[in-house]
Amino acid sequence: MSFAYFLRRAARYWGDRTAVIHHDRHLSFRQLDERSTRLANALLGLGLAKGDRVAVQSRNCTELVEIECALYKAGLVKAALNPRFTAHEAADVVENCTPRVLIAGPGYTAYTRASAGFASIETFISIMGDAPGYASYETLIERASPYAPDYRPQADDLAVLHFSSGSTGRIKAAMQTYGNRLASLRKIVLGMDRPARPGDRLALIGPVTHASGMLMQPYLFNGATLVLFDIFEPARFIADISRLSITHAFMVPAMINMLLGESALDHADLRSLKMLGYGAAPMAPARIEEAWARIGPVLSQGYGASESTSGVTRLSIADHADALANRPARLASCGRPLGETEVCVVDEQGREVSGETIGEIVIRGDDVFRGYWGAPELTAEALVDGWLRTGDLARVDEEGFIYLVDRRKDMIISGGFNVYPTEVEATLYRHPDVLEACVIGVPDDKWGEAVKAVVVLKPGREATAEALAAHCRTQLADYKLPRSVAFVAGLPKNASGKIARKLVREQYWQGTARRVN
């Protein structure tokens, strides 16, 4: 069984039904199957072979769904660049994974082989419109063979490089195999709170090149329609739920917070909505209660990571209902292990903990990634004796519900995006006025956590918060930028002379129930 087979079957079952909607463009299951097959052949016709990387950078569009399906059919590896990456970050990714082809959407066709880090690219392809030095996406599809490539995937074949900022400040790539992706599909399809059916519609609001894109194949497998959004506009989305008959949606908590801030929510027609999933950051219990009351009994939470390919625990709709009626404290949980994945909370000796004892979440299963591309040392730290060490600290109650408490590492999750302090600090240190910098996450009602920089200036210098933010903006994606800057005379140090980040962070989290927000 393969993704190619699943799509071919879907084209036979639901050929003229709509598979993907983006604005006024509708793509049927038959068109998606045919066009992705032609694209797969076009890429192979460029001389690419199994395991070669294809870089992709675009905002959400129907072509991104075609590209993923085509890469599965051809045995090629998707190396998706976040559409919010700066040129510096994009170059870091491309130089790291050396793709041979770049497929770019509008606004991302300025790169050439002369661009820093892009020397490995042999062919540049433009999704829409002409661009100098870029081949036409549509022309390649029109000229390619309509017959399926002769590729039979193996479980260990590399399928996706999923990029995120590393704890060292460098972008790292999680290697997800074909087997990982199939395990994720099984888990999502079998574990749906309210299973998707032909005619249902899934709203995908975040970049489908990243986390929200993990839902594309499972929902297509069930015959549902993917509805892609470019940006999230709360008031408009509330109206679109009724206008487009949205049945399923996935959001980060910051988006739900924005919905709750809209007065239109109280008189909106949300009858079509069956399930609203949220994750990528915990959500305050008070906001969960409000969302349940104002949006409806449709909330389902998931916890996971790119290293686990998808969610590994779930707090289901039924769990939410039970918590609200009988156990309010359980709203702080990220749920129980989902599907075939083993999830444990263990102490430093690897023994399972329970009750109020805090341990680290570890994961084992077919969905656990192969390791980090080109980083064996990082891989050895993450994969120990067959288990993925997440670095997330938690406790477990008597019924197996897991409660996140803190992170072993210092990663910040702001609006569902991962931000590593050392990457932001490295940028701040490049400013001529900065002597020392410590970047932390602080509680934020809208984003869960906000990025804050605590800075010591060099003697006699007078840099402003606005100047430091402008400096960072040239080198970092906007979600990584410090939302606030505090200037201090000095930063606390530990015995070895290193900045004591925990002490800096502590003052901003006093009085909170948990240290991830």
pLDDT of residue 442: 93
pLDDT digits (tens, 9 = 90+) for 326-339: 999 999 899 999 98
State whether residue 170 is helix, strand or coil: coil
In a domain, 420, yes or no: yes
d(CA 400, CA 11): 41
User: How many other C-beta atoms are found inside a 10 Å radius of the C-beta of residue 155?
Assistant: 12
pLDDT band at 170 (very low <50, low <70, confident <90, very high): low
Of 103, 136, 153, the residue that ends a domain is: 153
The CATH number of whichever domain residue 40 belongs to comes to: 3.40.50.980
Of 103, 121, 153, the residue that ends a domain is: 153
pLDDT of residue 25: 96
The more confident residue out of 422 and 350 is 350
CA distances from 495 to 24, 425, 479, 500, 501 (A): 61, 21, 33, 9, 13
In a domain, 421, yes or no: yes
> Residues of the chain with pLDDT > 90: what percent?
75
pLDDT of residue 496: 53
Of 86, 120, 153, the residue that ends a domain is: 153
In a domain, 370, yes or no: no
In a domain, 133, yes or no: yes
Instruction: Give me the mean pLDDT over the 213-222 stretch.
Output: 96
In a domain, 358, yes or no: no
Q: Based on the structure, what is the number of domains in the chain?
A: 2
The more confident residue out of 182 and 499 is 182
Q: What's at 113, amino acid-wise?
A: R
Residue 450 is part of which domain span?
A: 412-509
CA dihedral 15, 159, 197, 278 (to 10 degrees): -140
Average pLDDT, the chain: 92
pLDDT digits (tens, 9 = 90+) for 239-266: 999 999 999 999 988 789 889 989 999 9
Question: Which ranges of 204-252 would DSSP assign to H, the alpha helix?
Answer: 216-221, 234-243
In a domain, 110, yes or no: yes
> Residues of the chain with pLDDT > 70: what percent?
97
- Predicted TM-score (pTM) of the model is 0.86
Whether the predicted pLDDT of 463 surpasses 70? yes
The CATH number of whichever domain residue 465 belongs to comes to: 3.30.300.30
pLDDT of residue 422: 78
In a domain, 515, yes or no: no
In a domain, 436, yes or no: yes
